[in-house]
Amino acid sequence: MARPADQQFGGDWTERKLDALAAYLGKYTTALSKQPFQLEYIDAFAGTGYREIAEYREGPGTSLFGETADEAMEKYLEGSAARALKIARPFHRYAFVELSADKVRKLEQLKSANGKLAERIEIVQSDANTYLAARAQENWIKAGRRAVVFVDPFGMQVNWHTIEGLAATKAVDLWLLYPVSAINRLLSRSGVRFDSWRARLDRVFGGPAWFNAFYKKTPAQSLFPSVEDARYEKSIDIDGLTAYMVGKLETVFAQVVKKPLVLLARNQTPLFALCFAAANPKGAPIACRIAKHILEQ
Ligand SMILES: C[S@@+](CC[C@H](N)C(=O)[O-])C[C@H]1O[C@@H](n2cnc3c(N)ncnc32)[C@H](O)[C@@H]1O
């Protein structure tokens, strides 16, 4: 049996994230409504369009309000794509990108259910990095186009080069869910255990420079100084990781909100930092002012 009270509780940080996004999208299309730009919303990790609560998923046949629990929850909890379609002044174009074929099918249903807006929606089954890298090659400024891009992964799927590409368009406002907790878990006290984890972190940060930023070298304390682990000590915490990403965003975007929203798990430990960055030098100050205000609410 599904547990509605728990759904509400466990979903608080997701709701907070989606509320911030939806508030920004509404203000964005309103603020730019008198401008000649073509406005696009790109949801790079779109999911199904509805919020899924994997923890409380039930098999078919479990009845809640006469339907399966899955269906009932999906109807009740809207995800980023469904929310983006509900804003008062719609975007000219929507791109919903999703890797999973099953979820793409659900996005297609969302599209069909959206009447007139459907013709503005493109659903793409793709890896988000591949898709965004290709879109970043377009000449957005020359074409008079602007976009809000929402990058909402479960974990460390987003490569730094993807983010750099978006910044280089000079046309994108980015909402980025940065997985501080997942990254922190890979950073053991005395180093990163596996080469595959290091490689993943290299992709997240666009090279190996993170290591010297996160670890300081300590004099070997072991009788066997050749043991590599004994020579490094972790010198960064979650706040530091968040500040590090803000600093990196600032190297490529016109302006960044300095204090991202830290999203907390049930036990109050940080899970993600919701970051905002604006690429267009002219639009960035107002965009960041709006985003900052939303994040502080
Ligand atoms: C946190 S969920 C997105 C939730 C969605 N934004 C919402 O608010 O409803 C992450 C989604 O990304 C998809 N995904 C995972 N890896 C991906 C990738 N490399 N490219 C695109 N989508 C991916 C997953 O299938 C999952 O649906």
What confidence tens digit (pLDDT) does each residue in 51-72 have? Answer: 756 544 444 433 333 334 444 4
pLDDT in tens, 178-188: 999 999 999 99
Is the distance from the beta carbon of residue 97 to the nearest atom of ligand 1 less than 6 Å? yes
pLDDT band at 10; cut points 50, 70, 90: very low
Torsion of CA 100, 103, 109, 114, to 10 degrees: -100
Cα separation, 221 vs 208, in Å, equals 25
Ligand 1 atom nearest to CA at 43? 6
**pTM for the structure as a whole:** 0.88
Which spans in 11-53 are helix H?
12-31
CB 16 within 8 A of CB 8: no
Q: Which of 13, 55, 98, 130 to mutate to test the pocket of ligand 1 (most atoms within 8 A of CB)?
A: 98
| Residue 77 pLDDT | 81
Residue 297: strand, helix, or coil = coil
Q: How many CB atoms lie within 10 A of CB 196?
A: 10
Ligand 1 atom nearest to CA at 14? 8
Q: Comparing C-alpha atoms, which of 235, 286, 214 is closest to residue 257? A: 286
| Residue 223 pLDDT | 64
Is the distance from the beta carbon of residue 179 to the nearest atom of ligand 1 less than 6 Å? no
Q: Report the share of the chain in percent with pLDDT over 90.
A: 80
Is the distance from the beta carbon of residue 212 to the nearest atom of ligand 1 less than 6 Å? no
CB 53 within 8 A of CB 3: no
CATH class for the domain made up of 4-187+236-296: alpha beta
CB 62 within 8 A of CB 69: yes
Closest residue to atom 25 of ligand 1, CA basis: 100
pLDDT over 70 at 114, yes or no? yes
- Range of lowest pLDDT (31-45, 63-77, 155-169, 265-279): 63-77
- Interior angle at CA 250, CA 182 and CA 272, nearest 5: 20
CB 148 within 8 A of CB 25: yes
Cα separation, 201 vs 160, in Å, equals 10
- Range of lowest pLDDT (66-75, 109-118, 238-247): 66-75
Cα separation, 200 vs 50, in Å, equals 29
pLDDT band at 252; cut points 50, 70, 90: very high
Q: How many CB atoms lie within 10 A of CB 103?
A: 22
The torsion angles phi and psi of 50, rounded to 5 degrees, stand at: -125, 155
| DSSP conformation class of 50 | B
Is the distance from the beta carbon of residue 15 to the nearest atom of ligand 1 less than 6 Å? no
Is the distance from the beta carbon of residue 9 to the nearest atom of ligand 1 less than 6 Å? no
Strand partners, 255: 278
Is the distance from the beta carbon of residue 154 to the nearest atom of ligand 1 less than 6 Å? yes
| DSSP conformation class of 107 | H
Residues in CB range of 127: below 8 A, 6 or more apart: 99
Is the distance from the beta carbon of residue 79 to the nearest atom of ligand 1 less than 6 Å? yes
CB 255 within 8 A of CB 292: no
Cα separation, 285 vs 254, in Å, equals 9
Q: Which of 154, 177, 178, 263 to mutate to test the pocket of ligand 1 (most atoms within 8 A of CB)?
A: 154
